Amino acid sequence: MQPMSSRRSGLAAVLGALLVAVTTTGCLGAVDRADFEHDLRSRGGGLVSALPAAAFDTLRRRLDTAELHASVVLLTAPESGTMSFSVPAGSPQVGRFFDENRSLLTQDSAVHLRLRVPARPDQQDDYTFANGALHGPKPVHVSAFEDPDSEMFDVRDVSGLLRLEEVLDAALAQAAIENGSVTSVLVHRVGPDPMMTVDVTSPRTTVLVRFDRAGTYLGKSRT
């Protein structure tokens, strides 16, 4: 297993090449360098649909299964692991995940997952996908008082992740805060269906923007 900082993902390399092009030319097509860098940061600095897709594909190959059942899928922007994450109401599995993973800091954008072990549905493992590499499994202590069946969802049901860029643009527009940027995207189950919560943060405030599993806007709240 490669160290998390040993190599960059293909996505990071592409973004790096674009930044070099902007640095040397001052523009990217008709996009000003400052505008390009601002847009890149505001959208999470690499949180694109290709990121969770690569994570899921890697896990399917590793676990030799087409089905991935998760209680938490968390996408984090670079360096966002030092921030405190908000726990949505009615999602105790998210609170447990954050309590047991105090530091989620990675150098690049990453996907953190808590998955049910395919061959042992009574067991769960944590994984992190970053820099094109999969890290884990990290065994999870599952209490007899927990109800995993009420918390798990099939990641294939969250079609909003397939158009993540559109969802993040909508989150920024709905948050409508000055100098706001996306720091994380949380996928979790509330009731029978999974939902997506996008954390848009500025130096002054944080807005949680909620979407259903297909990426349709549901509402927002300020923390």
Give the DSSP H or E segment for 200.
strand 193-201
pLDDT digits 0-9 by tens, 200-216 = 999 999 999 999 999 99
For residue 75, is pLDDT > 70? yes
Its pTM stands at 0.79
If you write DSSP's letter for every residue of 170-194 in order, what string do you get? HHHHHH--TT-EEEEEEEEEETTEE
Q: CB count, 10 Å around CB of 118?
A: 16
Give the per-residue pLDDT at 108: 87
- pLDDT band at residue 32 under the 50/70/90 scheme: low
- Distance CA(123)–CA(127), nearest Å, equals 14
3-state DSSP assignment of residue 169: helix
Residue given tokens 């042992």 in the structure block: 120
Give the per-residue pLDDT at 43: 55
Give the per-residue pLDDT at 100: 87
Give the DSSP H or E segment for 126.
strand 120-130
Strands (E), 105-152: 110-117, 120-130, 133-140
- Distance CA(192)–CA(205), nearest Å, equals 31
pLDDT digits 0-9 by tens, 55-65 = 999 999 999 99
Give the per-residue pLDDT at 11: 43
Q: Prior bond to 137 cis, omega within 30?
A: yes
Phi, psi of 80 (to 5 degrees): -80, -10
Give the per-residue pLDDT at 190: 87
**Listed ranges 9-18, 94-103, 122-131, 143-152; the one with the highest mean pLDDT:** 122-131
Task: Give the mean pLDDT of 55-77.
Answer: 96
The pLDDT > 90 percentage for the chain reads: 60
- Distance CA(82)–CA(107), nearest Å, equals 11
Residue 87 and residue 72 in contact, taking contact as beta carbons nearer than 8 Å = no
